Amino acid sequence: MSVADDFSLTRAGSLARLNTLRVAARAEWLAEARDAADVPRVLARPELRDLPCLALGGGSNVLFVHDVTGLVLRLANRGITILEDSPEAALVRVAAGENWDQFVRWSLEAGFQGLENLILIPGSVGAAPIQNIGAYGVEARDFIAGVEAWDREAETCVRFDNAACEFGYRDSIFKHRPNRYIVTDVDFLLPRRRALRLDYVGVRQELEAMGVRQPSAADVARAVETLRRRKLPNPAQIGNAGSFFKNPVVSQTELAALRDRCPEMPAHAYGDDQFKLSAAWLIDACGLKGVREGAAGISERHALVLVNHGGATGEELWALATRVRETVAERFGVMLEPEPVVI
Ligand code: EPU
């Protein structure tokens, strides 16, 4: 290992502890930068210049099927800075290396509202815009004012405003150009007052069970925390990357055709004329919840979550994911798309 400026660089670096699916893959080169200014310095190294580069945050949304050719760059920069403040809202710059959940808790303690539904999502702040992370009726894009990134092609820092990020359901411009943009900081516009989002299935019931009649943002955060802990396996206990499949989005005509064959299929309106199917329901209906192939499995708690019971390789996990996709496609004619980045 060599350490120069404020970054470390390792050849054949182990990724085992850097991905929450706990796959024991290796990176041809592994760099960790503790400062955004080190990103161009790392990339300018002669041995790294022409290699593909994958930026890695908390590793909670990636499946390494094989060892990684080229450079894996982990950004470990820190800092939460209020750039502008008013009685209504604040513009807050957060370093990509900050932990998402800790940032959410900071925002609630500082008196801001809005991020309460996004508590306990694993991963880093830098990964939030890439995936446009979302839960319980709220998405990161609702609060992202801008993203600062290093543009590897233009060799300069670039700023994306919210529209330029091209956010979609678990999607953004960054997800499509993983080799080009390295997110270094994210700016959030955090309101001090915002209507609480309680409509997602389960949230109101959980608040009722807690005996809360007039919930505060902190109450909603507690309710969501309880729901997540009950439903989703904890990556600290069992290797997983949250939802492994996206909920398929279909047109009204497609939904009607699916419901001709399967009237009980659940769907939620999405946008003006589209519908989101429940990937978990489709997998569950195929009897795949809780299945195991060696150490690779589908969680017994939630059918959307691929789990590593211990020692599964990336290839084994991907083989099981492929079996799930093929089974669902055969039975329902719907091809599930993975949510994490599959390398
Ligand atoms: N369901 C089943 N079997 C299961 C689990 C769920 O049939 O094992 C059905 C039920 O009908 C349930 C419905 O699926 O009502 C929806 O389940 P859930 O509320 O858990 O939501 P989801 O659509 O499965 C999405 C996100 C999660 C997020 C939750 C809550 C995606 C791919 N996943 O899951 O995000 O926490 O909503 O908002 O959009 C993640 O992205 O990693 C993630 C965990």
- Residue 16: what residue type? A
Is a pLDDT exceeding 80 seen at residue 4? no
With the CA atoms of 56, 62, 64 and 65 taken in that order, what torsion angle do they form, in degrees rounded to the nearest 10? -150
How many angstroms does the Cα of residue 255 sit away from the middle of ligand 1? Answer: 19
**Can you tell me the distance from the alpha carbon of 262 to that of 255, in angstroms, rounded to the nearest whole number?**
10
**Can you tell me the distance from the alpha carbon of 216 to that of 89, in angstroms, rounded to the nearest whole number?**
17
Ligand 1 atom with the shortest distance to the CA of 200: 38
List, for residues 165-177, the tens digit of each pLDDT value.
999 999 999 999 9
**Can you tell me the distance from the alpha carbon of 54 to that of 100, in angstroms, rounded to the nearest whole number?**
20
129, 186 Cβ separation under 8 angstroms: yes
**Can you tell me the distance from the alpha carbon of 34 to that of 207, in angstroms, rounded to the nearest whole number?**
40
pLDDT of 178 reads 84
Mean pLDDT along residues 309-336: 98
161, 178 Cβ separation under 8 angstroms: no
Residues 6+ apart with CB under 8 A from 199: 137
Residue identified by tokens 């943002």 is: 217
The tokens for 216 are: 């505060």
**Can you tell me the distance from the alpha carbon of 167 to that of 217, in angstroms, rounded to the nearest whole number?**
25
List, for residues 90-114, the tens digit of each pLDDT value.
999 999 999 999 999 999 999 999 9
Give the whole-number percent of the chain exceeding pLDDT 70.
99
User: What is residue 165's DSSP assignment?
Assistant: G
Residue identified by tokens 């979302």 is: 134
Lowest mean pLDDT among 128-132, 204-208, 269-273, 283-287: 269-273
Is a pLDDT exceeding 80 seen at residue 2? no
User: What is residue 128's DSSP assignment?
Assistant: H
Is a pLDDT exceeding 60 seen at residue 200? yes
pLDDT band at 5 (very low <50, low <70, confident <90, very high): low
pLDDT of 160 reads 98
Please indicate, yes or no, whether the overall pTM of this predicted structure exceeds 0.85: yes
pLDDT of 119 reads 98
pLDDT of 7 reads 87
CB burial string 22-49: b at 16+ within 10 A, e below: bbebbbbbbbbbbbbebbeebbebeebe
- Residue 213: what residue type? R
Tell the residue nearest (CA) to atom 29 of ligand 1.
135
105, 116 Cβ separation under 8 angstroms: no
- Residue 230: what residue type? R
pLDDT band at 271 (very low <50, low <70, confident <90, very high): confident
Mean pLDDT along residues 77-100: 98
Residues 6+ apart with CB under 8 A from 202: 136, 227
Mean pLDDT along residues 25-50: 96
pLDDT of 1 reads 53
Around ligand 1, the residues with Cβ closer than 6 Å are: 135-136, 200-201, 231-232, 242-243, 246-247, 266, 278, 280-281, 284, 289, 302-304, 339
> Mean of the per-residue pLDDT values for the chain?
96
Pocket test for ligand 1, best of 169, 170, 220, 243 (most atoms within 8 A of CB): 243
- 194 an active-site residue? no
The tokens for 242 are: 């949250």
The tokens for 164 are: 């330029």
**Can you tell me the distance from the alpha carbon of 3 to that of 327, in angstroms, rounded to the nearest whole number?**
48
Is a pLDDT exceeding 90 seen at residue 211? yes
Q: Given the residues 26, 141, 152, 170, select the one marked as catalytic.
A: 170
Give the whole-number percent of the chain exceeding pLDDT 90.
97
- 243 an active-site residue? yes
Q: Given the residues 60, 172, 243, 299, select the one marked as catalytic.
A: 243
